[in-house]
Amino acid sequence: MIFVINENRPVAKEVFRMVLRAAIANEEVRLRPGQFVNIAVEGCYLRRPISVCDWDARTQTLTLLYKTVGTGTRALARCVPGTSLDLLTGLGNGYTPVEARRPALLGGGVGTPPLYFLAKELAGAGQKPVAVLGFNTKDEMFYHEEFATLCDVIVTTADGSYGQKGFVTDALPGLAYDALYVCGPEPMLQAVFAQARALPAGHAQFSFERRMGCGFGACMVCSCKTTAGYKRICKDGPILTKEEILWT
């Protein structure tokens, strides 16, 4: 599906926000929080998977936040407004919202974008989410204000240059949460996992990242062992519940 870039600019150190609009409106496109799109990037053979930060079906507007970490994302950052991009949309299982009064959304670095979309959906459903966003430093921080329009927000930085000093997991014990949605680097996922044992089944959901090939379940390069057998992170994930996770 072809999208046209409306906006593509930095929002923090090495983090860009890209806003795109479907070239031809397609009512059938359904995107859920935690899903991703796979973008064909000029000069790269494989597509680049980027999580969905926001999708407005009415205006057919897609928002992506991505960090420039390699050739693909650096090429994306050079795209000017008006550029058309070929996207595969609606990939991955996405988060499965559960009944909860106080869900906590824990994001680390560029793991925070899918939680914005989720916060919007949960708040819209009458829940009172709290977002805990962790960054290394103030200049890497983004989207505090945007999250604040949807829910309570706690920001942590590892060096204390913004918000609370420390990690996302340092803020967690002080919160009365009854569901957890997590996205961030794997050590963070592991640390949160250790604090999530008491939650009921399905109430702690973690987003995983692996090197992918196709992004839609065909090539099997991103398979992981889980308690429920082998799962493709791109198709059966990227969201796994704590009951499914096998740390290796």
List interacting residues with other proteins (CB under 8 A).
40, 44-47, 88, 210-214, 216-225, 230, 235
Taking the C-alpha atoms of residue 246 and residue 227, their distance in angstroms, rounded to an integer, is 6
Number of H helices, E strands in the chain: 5, 15
Q: Write the CB contacts of 191 (distance below 8 Å, at least 6 apart in sequence).
A: 167, 169
Residue of 168, 183, 182 whose CA lies nearest to 136: 168
Min dist CB 178 to other proteins, Å, is 33
Q: Least distance (Å) from other proteins to the CB of residue 198? A: 30
Q: Which of 114, 61, 145 is nearest to 238 (CA)?
A: 114
From the CB of 213, what's the least distance to other proteins, in Å?
A: 5
Alpha helices in the chain (DSSP H): 71-77, 113-124, 144-148, 168-171, 186-195
Q: Are 158 and 167 in contact (CB under 8 A)?
A: yes
Of the pair 8, 89, the CB lying nearest other proteins is at 89
| CB-CB contact of 42 with 75 (8 Å) | yes
Report in angstroms how near the CB of residue 70 gets to other proteins at its nearest. Answer: 10
Nearer to other proteins, 149 or 190 (CB): 190
CB of 215 to other proteins, least distance (A): 8
Peptide bond before 238: cis, by omega within 30 degrees of 0? yes
